[in-house]
Amino acid sequence: MIRRILVANRGEIALRIVRACKDLGIESVVAYSEADRDTLAVRHADRSVCIGPAPSSESYLNVRSILSAAILTRCDALHPGVGFLSESASFAKAVEEAGLIFIGPRPETIELLGNKVQARISAERAGLPVTPGSDRLDDLVSAKKWASRLGYPVILKASAGGGGRGMRIIHKETELESNFLLAKKEALLFFGDDSMYMEKFLQNPRHVEVQLLGDGNGNVLHLGERDCSVQRNHQKLVEETPSPILDNTVREAMTGASATLFQNLAYRGAGTVEFLIEGGAYYFMEVNARLQVEHPISEAVSGVDLVVEQIRIASKKGISRKQNQVVLRGYSLECRINGLGAGRIARFDLPSGPHVRTDTFLAPGMTLSPYYDSLLAKIIVHAPSRQEGIDRMLRALDEVVIEGIPTNVEEQKMIIGSPSFRSGRFGTDLYETLCGKEMRHG
């Protein structure tokens, strides 16, 4: 049995995991950096342990310090949260070798899916259509051959990449050499692996992902899809479920094939299968072998607590329900509230009321650190229909008052309130279309 869990992450996701532990009667220990000692996760955990100074390399990415904290506090298991080490196969293996339960996929599964080329192969075997593209590119010569075969524009991607790192869009051959070398350099810097592959670039697709749970023995549950098309520099800003562009035929095909992929992998834990959609066709992009920041909207429409399910699966209790017991009700929308600079938060009023959820780790008087990502809070609404959900989100955004640091609240209002978003007919260029000109001249 799992009696005590080390939370090896920070921010709102750390508090989210602490709350799930409390619901299950499990003790939580939060591992925190010196910069995070006053955050809500540290305040509400049963115990907390400082694992190092503010820089991530000396704290949240310091495997030795994290494992030492887990062992010294006699934890049975470790939850990696999102980001940082959550998709590191070597970290998952080190956790298990230390005698702890890793609340996530098996190390070999993470390693397989972390290589985007191998993930494409696994997806094809499961019957998923993939974006036309190459295998691993060994050198610039092979890159030029593939670009010629696919036709410009193409996109270079790091085999071990994610979050837009090691990624370059190439519109013509004269751009290829310099971007190929830059992408490899960036990939090596961020992932320790400079291997690349190439895909045909879809100019303005939709980004849709399927949320799944697997018990590690081939039993898989899906909770529908999420549309994550509103992005800035490949970073998600707004997520919604269900996607306004999918009909039931395409939805059933995507979720069914995604479940088959996870069954083939004997996948353990929570994960998503990511797709790009263009012109009515959908293409496999990658698997995120972890919990996602936007998981609350799937929880809202399904009634399934994804973090509790992760812990159940790690405890070998299996998934709490079967597919025919899942009913997806209504519509849910999430907006990410980001800080546009570090500093002390003088006032921090977040919305509430019926069917409004806010996830944060901050309170008035706390400081947003310059060392980590800029996420301040997530606002999630649930409603019977998409139009009602949009109206509810606009009301919620109007209630937000944050003083001391600039935020993207007004941008979110612009996006959510735009005719383009309300119509549901847009692509991944929506942010640039609505906010890009203002940002360039602001």
Residues 95 and 172 reside in one and the same domain: no
Determine the pLDDT at residue 39: 96
By 3-state DSSP, what share of the chain in percent is helix, strand and coil, each rounded to 5? 40, 25, 35
Would residue 37 count as lying in a domain?
Answer: yes
Closest CA to 144 of 179, 176, 96, 118: 176
Residues 322 and 363 reside in one and the same domain: yes
Residue 23 structure tokens: 């619901």
116-128 per-position pLDDT tens digit:
889 989 999 999 9
290 is catalytic: yes
Q: What sign results for the dihedral spanned by CA atoms 382, 324, 229, 244?
A: negative
Determine the pLDDT at residue 439: 42
Residues 196 and 216 reside in one and the same domain: no
What lies within 8 Å, CB to CB, of 43 at 6+ separation is: none
4-7/77-79 β-pairing: parallel
Determine the pLDDT at residue 279: 85
Determine the pLDDT at residue 163: 66
Residues 194 and 210 reside in one and the same domain: no
What lies within 8 Å, CB to CB, of 8 at 6+ separation is: 31, 60, 66, 70, 78, 79, 80, 81, 84, 85
Rounded-to-integer distance, Cα 315 and Cα 293, Å: 23
Would residue 418 count as lying in a domain?
Answer: yes
305 membership: H or E segment, kind and range: none
385-423 per-position pLDDT tens digit:
999 999 999 999 999 999 999 999 999 999 999 999 999
Residues 393 and 436 reside in one and the same domain: yes
| 68 close to 78: Cβ distance less than 8 angstroms | no
Residues 335 and 224 reside in one and the same domain: yes
Q: What sign results for the dihedral spanned by CA atoms 298, 301, 302, 304?
A: positive
Would residue 210 count as lying in a domain?
Answer: yes
Would residue 219 count as lying in a domain?
Answer: yes
Determine the pLDDT at residue 442: 37
| Structural domain range at position 21 | 4-103
Determine the pLDDT at residue 135: 86
Would residue 115 count as lying in a domain?
Answer: no
Rounded-to-integer distance, Cα 247 and Cα 376, Å: 34
Closest CA to 309 of 271, 272, 269: 269
Peptide bond into 242 cis (omega under 30): yes
Residue 157 structure tokens: 């991607």
Which of 200, 232, 253 is a domain's end point? 200
Residues 143 and 260 reside in one and the same domain: no
Chain-centre distance of CA 342, in angstroms?
Answer: 22
User: Which alpha helices (H) appear in 100-175, and where do they start and end?
Assistant: 107-114, 116-125, 140-150
Instruction: State yes or no: pLDDT of 440 exceeds 50.
Output: no
Rounded-to-integer distance, Cα 217 and Cα 214, Å: 8
Q: What is the CATH number of the domain that holds 163?
A: 3.30.1490.20
298 membership: H or E segment, kind and range: helix 295-302
| 126 close to 261: Cβ distance less than 8 angstroms | yes
Q: What is the DSSP letter of 244?
A: T
| 381 close to 396: Cβ distance less than 8 angstroms | yes
Would residue 56 count as lying in a domain?
Answer: yes
Amino acid of residue 56:
S
Q: What is the CATH number of the domain that holds 90?
A: 3.40.50.20
| 407 close to 379: Cβ distance less than 8 angstroms | no
% the chain with pLDDT above 90: 88
Residues 181 and 236 reside in one and the same domain: no
10-42 per-position pLDDT tens digit:
999 999 999 999 999 999 999 999 999 999 999
Q: What is the CATH number of the domain that holds 388?
A: 3.30.470.20
Peptide bond into 153 cis (omega under 30): yes
How far is it between the farthest Cα atoms of the chain?
A: 60
Q: How many CB atoms lie within 10 A of CB 398?
A: 11
Rg over alpha carbons for the chain, rounded to the nearest Å, is 21
Q: Which residues pair with 212 in a beta bridge?
A: 222, 271
Give the mean model confidence (pLDDT) for residues 102-123: 93
Out of 290, 357, 386, 392, which one is annotated catalytic? 290
| 95 close to 78: Cβ distance less than 8 angstroms | yes
Instruction: State yes or no: pLDDT of 265 exceeds 60.
Output: yes
Determine the pLDDT at residue 437: 55
Residues 382 and 246 reside in one and the same domain: yes
Would residue 117 count as lying in a domain?
Answer: no
Instruction: State yes or no: pLDDT of 436 exceeds 90.
Output: no
Confidence of residue 165 (pLDDT cuts 50, 70, 90): confident
Residues 157 and 221 reside in one and the same domain: no
Residues 331 and 247 reside in one and the same domain: yes
Chain-centre distance of CA 428, in angstroms?
Answer: 16
Residue with tokens 């399904």: 302
Which one has a higher pLDDT value, 440 or 280? 280
In the chain, the number of structural domains is 3
Give the mean model confidence (pLDDT) for residues 342-349: 96
Mean pLDDT of the chain: 94
Residues 31 and 169 reside in one and the same domain: no
Determine the pLDDT at residue 282: 94
| 180 close to 140: Cβ distance less than 8 angstroms | yes
Secondary structure (3-state) at 190: helix
| 72 close to 29: Cβ distance less than 8 angstroms | no
pTM above 0.75, yes or no: yes
Rounded-to-integer distance, Cα 1 and Cα 335, Å: 36
Would residue 123 count as lying in a domain?
Answer: no
Which of 85, 103, 121 is a domain's end point? 103
Chain-centre distance of CA 34, in angstroms?
Answer: 25
Which of 200, 228, 247 is a domain's end point? 200
Closest CA to 263 of 306, 300, 215: 215
190-240 per-position pLDDT tens digit:
888 899 999 999 989 999 999 999 999 999 999 999 999 999 988 999 999
